[in-house]
Structure 1
Amino acid sequence: MATQNIYILGIESSCDDTAAAVLCNGEILSNVVATQEIHEKYGGVVPELASRAHQQNVVPVIHEALKRANISKNDLTAIAFTRGPGLMGSLLVGTSFAKSMALGLNIPLLDINHMQAHILAHFIEEKGFEKPKFPFLSLTISGGHTQIVKVSDYFEMEVIGETMDDAVGEAFDKSAKILGLPYPGGPLIDKYSKMGNPKAFPFPKPKVGDLNFSFSGLKTSILYFIQKKVKEDPDFIKNNLDDICASVQFTIVNILMDKLKKAVKQTGINRIAIAGGVSANSGIREALVKAEKKYGWETFIPKFEYTTDNAAMIAIAGHYKFLAGEFADMSITAKARIKF
């Protein structure tokens, strides 16, 4: 007897990207993202504008995902959606739509923790990408989060280290802002750093206990350094942009790698996965590849399209929740802050 296909529709709306994806038995059939460009002129995400844009985008994005997957909405087995964490207005759009669609189709609803989904993106069936075996450590790095997570099973995760203040993505973006680069500045620091000398300008590494992180002090030291240098030479940034970016990136990557080495030592787990938007950063990827050779780690680096917010990761998390029979009921609500 043929096994029945499990079609999961994933809906992601935690911040400023409206995304929908369709998975069949863990394989991607479609992965559609509508990016909101309206926030660029404000230098950051404006929550009210984000939720309005989600309302405009959610129907066309889901329609496109179903079309690309070449299935009808009636073929869907279940609907997975991001419950949190994220911007409340944005989450409400995805949550409300997922609930009404599941109700209309009379199929199960699956609520997904956005941060767990970033980690579970490693389990999407993808040629050339190996899945990590349990247990493994995940360095989950994004605009809003910096965490080291011990992953013992699909939904058995423990945060063993996290940021005490700014997230690493915020540190990149705010450093870029100090340099007068447009939002989002993190990818631009990565781009210019490739042409610069990483040891041109040494920045201090914050001293934080155990496996936790802190980036606010680093951000302040970069600000004071730039202010002092620009006072001496108004063209300092322009003349040294590549070296400044390379030095900032080198410092941030070193902070992350120091904590990872410590986490490996403490836990005895040497399987390391990276997840979240900042895992697209080339410096972090290169440092992990080097660590694999130097320390004998097993490292898992996701495909670029699964690093930033996307619905494929929501759908794969939904796939495993469906198999475990962990369904949500219609009384469920979005949560801006949510723990593992």
Structure 2
Amino acid sequence: MTVVLPISASRADDAAPDPTPASWAARAGALVVDIVPGVAVVATMALLALASPADGWARWVFTGAGAAALFAMALNRLVAPAATGWTLGRALFGIAVRDRSGAPVGIGRLALRELAHLADTLAVFVGWLWPLWDARRRTFADLLARTEVLRVERPRRDMRRLVAVFLLAVALLCAAAAGLGYLTVYRHERAVDAARAQIAEQGPRIVEQMLSYGADTMPADFARAQGLTTDGYRPQLVAQQQAAQKAGVKSNEYWAVSSAVLTNPPVTPDQVSMLMAMQGQRGDDPKDLKFITATVRVDFDRSADGQWRVANLTVLKKPQMNQAQQ
């Protein structure tokens, strides 16, 4: 007679099944929760930083917020699993990264695994789909780092509510940043458009007044011209005026026949450059007048009182003088 003996409790415990590999859907869902919100914040901040004025405070705010989002992603993906065993997304879906023995994985191997995900991506994303037919549902990164993603018991904390609050906070942050960026960029663009329009209207007249003077009103004309320049350019203009006086020039009159606002360097609310084609006449005796043509580039700066001043004038085409026809 054969007697069947019951298996002892200790032997039953020893025969406990191995942890179950996480499903592809659970891994994908956890990755979305861990990565997509951070990428959304980084992308939003990067776009707003690039669109913001280069010398404005908003660019630094958006850049700092993007850097903080990257740092938070690194904490969630590298530090949190080593410290608590979870990332936010993996805690929601009840999965965790383990080594082949089932033990937790340290920061070093987690960092190696994150870098190895490049292999998943560079292989035309095949590595991300590899768990669909791999026996242990591993990606290329898991194979390289000798890790597995296993189903584990979820934390006792209500992860659904926590993740919902987190996603709402990310959405509000992106919306607030977009609103701030809109106001900043919109105001900047309006200021740029206003500066461009002002120079298009005032620039030729400012240069005409700066270069023109008469024999009877020369001191007053020179003083007026100096008032149309910045402190940095004024000494150069004074030297030119003194040279003209020594050469015995009595009258000089210029007018702009065409002009265009330059886009390189870019127009800012306080700095604009313009290209001008100038014509003029020099001399006092109608029988001895000389007609002048020249092409110049003029840089304008807005002064503290809001007025435009000539910051520099560069002659691009040497002035040509022709004797008046009798």
Task: Give TM-score, length-normalised by structure 2.
Answer: 0.17
Structure ID, larger Rg? 2
TM-score (norm 1): 0.17
* Greater RCO, 1 or 2 (C-alpha within 8 Å, sep 6+): 1
